[in-house]
Amino acid sequence: ALGVLDNSVVLPPSGCTQRPQQSEEFDLQRALRRSALFFAPGGKYFEMGLTNCTPQGVVGALLFRLHSRTCEYASSQDPSAQAVSVVQKLCRREISMKAFIEAVLPGTNPSMVQAALYAQGLRFHSANMRRAGVTPLSEPERILRELAAEQRDILCARVLRARVKEESSGRRKELRKMERLQIIEE
C-alpha cells in the first residue's frame, strides 16, 4: 500500500546478521490510489465483505451526530427543522470524509490522513494489535513513515531468515557428508 518494494530494502552484507536501519520513504500517490479502493462509496473491500460498514457510513454517522449537536436548530422544538438542516448539509456535500477530517483534525492534510488511516488500518486491524497504542491520526506523515520503515524491516528479516536457513541447511549437508565419509573410512 505504501509502495515499499523489495529493491528499496537495505540488506546487510553476506555473513552479517544485524539488520540495518531502513528508509522511511513511502509513495503517497500509491497509498492514495490503494486507499481509494477502500474509501470509494461501494468500495472494493466493502463489496468483498471485508468490512461491515464503509468509512463513509461511519463518517456520515459521526458528522450527523456532530451537526445535530451543534446546529442552530439543536434546541428547537421542531424536529423537522434539524432534519432539513442535515439534508441541506448533505446536499451541499458539507458532510464528507474531507469535512470530517477537517472538523476532527484541523490543520492536517486530508489526503495524507486518508492514506494514513488506510495503512494503519491494514497494520492494526484488531483490538489486540492496537492494545499498545497507535500513532495518532493527527500525525499522518509520521504514521506513513513508521509503517514504511517497519515494512522494509520485515522484508529484510525475511531475507535474513532465508539466508540463515540456507546456510544451516548447507552445514547439515556437509556434516552428513563428513559422517558418511568417516563411516566408509572405518
Model pLDDT, residue 17: 65
Write out the three cell numbers for 158: 525475511
pLDDT in tens, 131-161: 888 888 889 899 988 988 888 888 888 888 8
Model pLDDT, residue 41: 53
Cα-based distances in Å from 105 to 78, 89, 95, 154: 32, 20, 15, 31
Model pLDDT, residue 129: 80
pLDDT in tens, 15-74: 666 677 777 777 777 877 777 666 555 555 545 555 556 666 666 677 777 777 776 655
CA 158 to chain centre: 20
Q: What is the mean pLDDT of the chain?
A: 75
pTM of the predicted model as reported, rounded to 2 decimal places? 0.63
Write out the three cell numbers for 44: 472494493
* 3-state SS string for 9-70: CCCCCCCCCCCCCCCCCCCHHHHHHHHHHHHCCCCHHHHCCCCCCCHHHHHHHHHHHHHHHH
Q: Quick one: 16 exposed, middle or buried, by C-beta within 10 A (0-12, 13-18, 19+)?
A: exposed
Distance CA 58, CA 127 (A): 18
Model pLDDT, residue 180: 82
Write out the three cell numbers for 121: 488500518
